[in-house]
Amino acid sequence: MASRLNPYISFEHNAREAMEFYKDVFGGDLVISTFGEYGDQDAPGADDVMHAQLETPSGFTLMASDTPPGMSHTAGDNISISLSGDDADQLRGYWEKLSDGGTVAVPLQKQMWGDEFGSVQDRFGITWMVNIAGGQPG
């Protein structure tokens, strides 16, 4: 798989409803994972969406999640850009350049779902998420 760039939208407890709506609009295949699937199933917010991905027949990819407990959600500032794929060297290179002069929110490292993931706000205030499929900590 080559690297890809797509929007990633954050919601406040209604990501599932929104993504099902977008599926009705654009068609395609929707996959949803909850926070409870990767943690405490009895914790507050366990049924909220940790990650949703819609792949449309037109080639669009739309990703989304509910904002985790303890993090702020501001309508209008709830879209970031996702870079993902399996070309680890290329994606780490993007990460390094985007991080230069920026603020790292989540260091690029192996996550509970098995991929490397990191989040950074670049020096222009744009939030980028980098996910390396099946990656090893670098």
- Predicted TM-score (pTM) of the model is 0.69
pLDDT tens per residue, the chain (138 residues)?
Answer: 678 889 999 988 899 999 998 999 889 999 999 999 987 788 878 899 999 999 999 888 999 999 887 788 777 678 889 999 999 998 999 999 999 999 999 999 999 899 999 999 988 788 899 999 984 444
Domains and CATH numbers, the chain: 1-75 (3.10.180.10), 86-138 (3.10.180.10)
The three-class DSSP label of residue 10 is strand
How far apart CA 50 and CA 79 sit, in angstroms, is 15
DSSP output for 81-100:
EEEEES-HHHHHHHHHHHHT
Determine the length of the chain.
Answer: 138
